[in-house]
Structures are given as structure tokens and as C-alpha cells.
Amino acid sequence: MFTGKPTSKGIQAIDETIIISIDSDSLFRLYDAHRDIERLFRLLFEKEYVNTVKRIESLQFKSASERYLELLETTDYVQKIPLKYIATYLGITQVSLSRIRAGIR
């Protein structure tokens, strides 16, 4: 959005979803017209920046088991998410995730 280049990331919905989007030019015009919306988005971006840093630190410094337990504590959707996506998110193989899950039960 800020560089004007496409992202290499994608989003796949695994549950019924409503998606609302706005192109960057329209968003920036909205910012100019409504400073409270600009502030709201700035706060959202700051929050997500902090979450991104935490995720990177988690991948660097926590074990796969710790990351999985942390995921269980932070979301109620784990049961709906296919194991291959959870494993990818945790940076491990499905086999490793199965071992972790078996050790927790």
C-alpha cells in the first residue's frame, strides 16, 4: 500500500467472510478529509506493527511448542484451521505439529 507495489502475500478465508476493501488513493483522500479516520488507521497500523515484531521475536526465540501454546491462548479458531496452515504459521512441519499436539494431550 505504501510502496505502490503488489504484495507477495495472500489471504485465504476458511470460514464465511465479508471483505471490505478500499484502494490506497481513496484511503489517502479519506485521511485528508477526516483526520479522526487517519488517526484510527495509524493506531491500527501501530498495533499490527507491534504484533509483527512479536511474531518475528516468537519465531526467533521461542520453541515450536511455546508458539503453539501461545496460539491456543490467543485464538478460539484453532479447531477450525487446517493443521497444514497452523504448521506453516508456526514455521514447522505438519509432522512436528502432530508431535507437539500429541505431547500436550
Q: State residue 1's pLDDT score.
A: 78
- Is 26 part of a structural domain of the chain? yes
Domain that residue 68 falls in: 63-105
- Residue 42 inside a domain? The answer is yes
pLDDT tens per residue across span 27-62? 999 999 999 999 999 999 999 999 999 999 999 999
Q: Is the overall model pTM greater than 0.85, yes or no? A: no
Residues 92, 93, 94, 95: is their CA dihedral positive or negative? negative
> For the chain, what is the domain count?
2
CB-CB neighbours of 90 under 10 Å: 21
Mean pLDDT of all residues in 58-72: 95
| 4, 12, 31, 83 from 1: Cα distances, Å | 5, 19, 14, 30
Asked whether residue 3 is assigned to any structural domain, the reply reads no
In the prediction, which pLDDT does 11 show? Answer: 83
Whether residue 57 sits in one domain with residue 72: no
Same domain, 30 and 55: yes
**Is residue 54 located within the same domain as residue 67?**
no
In whole angstroms, what is the distance from residue 20 CA to residue 24 CA? 13
Residue 71 CB contacts under 8 Å (≥ 6 apart), including other chains = 78, 86, 89, 90
What residue type is 41 in one-letter code?
A: F
